[in-house]
Amino acid sequence: MYQSWFTYSISRPYPFRWFTPVTIVGGIILAVLVSLANLSASGYYLKTMYTEDPNGTVASANQWFLKPPFNWDKNFAAKCQPNILSVGDQFFTTNQGLKYEIEFIRQKSDGAPLVSVPYHNNTLQDCCLSGLDIYLRKVDSQPPPTWWMSWVDSGSIMKAICTYTSDSGTIELTLRTDSFDPINSNYTTHAGAWWGAKLGSLYHWGTVILISQVDDYSKDSEFGYPLFGNLFYTRNTSANDIKSDDFISLGYFIVTSNSEILNNPSVDSPLFNMQAEGRHYTKILHSLIASDLGNCQQPNLLLDDEGLKYAIIDPNSKNRNKGGILYDKADGMRDPIRAVYLQNPKSNSGEDIVLREAFDKISPDIGELACQSATIVSQYLCSVPVQKSIGTMLVSLVLANLVFLGGAWKLLNTIAATFLVRQGPQIDFCKGCQEGVYQESKTQSIEMENMQGSVAAEETTSEVVLVEQDSAVLLPK
């Protein structure tokens, strides 16, 4: 008979009643557990992607079978790298308002300055306007009163402070922006931002128009006329009534054509009226920035109707009420239309509404005034588990299960073999061999018995012969 190089093992049934149920029940349970354990490793792969919502991405991707006890090392858990914020970076928040530039970063606990910090979609906290610098620049030498165009280079710089909590502690950001045009100023979904942007623009131009009309100082006077200057408004943290003058503190200077510096105008001076306009402008921007940066606890004019009415026109304003320069459209150089009229957002024809009528005519069509928390909009690099195709996943699971179940079967056989060793050397015999040895032993026993019987018969015959011989000897002749 031909003999191959390869051999096979000869087996025999285990003589244990418990072995069969343990193998079947335990195999089914183990197969289920092994399948769940292999589901993450064999059925999924990590995919790199960018997202603006790392927290939501991680929460939706980390399914139950990707966590312990089915995946102890968390090698398939969704993870997102933090964004790095550096001095000079620009961003806008999830409220889609103003665009900010990071001017300064420091560790709040010890005040240590930082160049960059990690940011992982942390909620901004305690954000507020810290200061507003209105810079006024005249572009010609025409003495007042002049048109607002003579001061067209004027503008404003707003600064705000924000904090957020990270793994390394509380981080404080100093922000600046020179624009009050929101990224999204939809009047139905972002009503507060719409009002803040429109009113901010009107009061900015109101401040410019008021300084363009300053005629207290003639060209031939000791002081001359204003050429440029700065108004520095800061938030007074000890005052909580946003409608009071104490809510905003002021520091300023105005340089005249005769190189004089004006910084202490009288109550009746046009410069005093300009400062009052700038203070109201600052209150509007304070409200806009607080809402945009998600600080809903700060005093705010853009969260309710009463505050909005005050934001539109201060009842005590000398500039915007009857008799003031900014009450309505005037003639000649005093034309304040740029600071007095709002465009109806629902009008396709561009209908202009005078500011004192704006609340009654526009607010019914505007969305709800609201405030919500904010985070910095950024792109995050994430590794997310993605399911393989059904066919590939099934093949991977079957192969992985076969490896684990094969190892378990080997272990069970080893355990059973240790019990068999105690039953004697016959465990090394196959079933057929064991039966053959038994039959051979039985045959040998029968033969031995037959041989013993034959020997006994021969011995009996010999004894009879000897007895007979002895008897013959003893008989007389």
pLDDT in tens, 87-101: 999 999 999 999 999
**Are 136 and 226 within 8 A, CB to CB?**
yes
pLDDT at 477: 44
- pLDDT of 311 over the 60 cut: yes
The 8-class DSSP code of residue 365 comes to G
- pLDDT of 64 over the 70 cut: no
- pLDDT-derived band at 4 (thresholds 50, 70, 90) equals confident
- pLDDT-derived band at 429 (thresholds 50, 70, 90) equals low
Both 225 and 113 in a single domain?
yes
pTM, two decimal places: 0.76
The 8-class DSSP code of residue 341 comes to E
Residue 231 and residue 263: Cα distance in Å, rounded? 10
CA nearest to 320, candidates 352, 277, 285, 351: 277
Residue with tokens 């942007």: 197
- pLDDT of 237 over the 90 cut: no
Residue 420 and residue 415: Cα distance in Å, rounded? 9
- pLDDT-derived band at 473 (thresholds 50, 70, 90) equals very low
- pLDDT of 451 over the 80 cut: no
Cα 171 to Cα 96, 110, 167, 378, distances in angstroms: 22, 10, 10, 18
Residue 142 and residue 224: Cα distance in Å, rounded? 12
More confident residue, 113 or 11: 113
Both 390 and 345 in a single domain?
no
Provide the domain limits for residue 398. 19-80+386-408
Overall domain count for the chain? 2
Q: Which residues fall within 8 angstroms of residue 476, CB to CB, at 6 or more apart?
A: none
Residue 106 and residue 163: Cα distance in Å, rounded? 10
Q: How many helices (H) and strands (E) does the chain have?
A: 9, 15
Average pLDDT of 223-237? Answer: 89
Both 44 and 177 in a single domain?
no
Q: State the amino acid at position 452 in one-letter form.
A: Q
Backbone angles phi, psi at 390, to 5 degrees: -55, -45
Domain contains 273: yes
- pLDDT of 68 over the 70 cut: no
Best mean pLDDT range from 138-142, 245-249, 412-416, 448-452: 245-249
Residue 35 and residue 28: Cα distance in Å, rounded? 11
Both 45 and 168 in a single domain?
no
Q: State the amino acid at position 72 in one-letter form.
A: W
- pLDDT of 445 over the 70 cut: no
Both 31 and 174 in a single domain?
no
pLDDT at 121: 92
Average pLDDT of 257-262? Answer: 83
pLDDT at 72: 58
Average pLDDT of 232-260? Answer: 91
- pLDDT-derived band at 293 (thresholds 50, 70, 90) equals very high
Report the run of H or E that residue 411 belongs to, with start and end: helix 390-421
Both 105 and 246 in a single domain?
yes
| pLDDT tens, position by position, 398-410 | 888 888 888 888 8
Both 249 and 125 in a single domain?
yes
pLDDT at 468: 53
- pLDDT of 71 over the 70 cut: no
User: Is the omega angle on the peptide bond into residue 299 within 30 degrees of 0, that is, cis?
Assistant: no
CA nearest to 361, candidates 338, 336, 342: 342
| pLDDT tens, position by position, 271-282 | 888 899 999 999
Average pLDDT of 427-450? Answer: 61
Both 34 and 106 in a single domain?
no
Both 37 and 186 in a single domain?
no
Helix (H, G, I), strand (E, B) or coil at 367: coil
Residue 78 and residue 383: Cα distance in Å, rounded? 6
Residue 288 and residue 310: Cα distance in Å, rounded? 14
Domain contains 302: yes
Both 327 and 346 in a single domain?
yes
**Two tokens, residue 47:** 């995919």
- pLDDT of 222 over the 90 cut: no
Both 204 and 299 in a single domain?
yes
Domain contains 51: yes
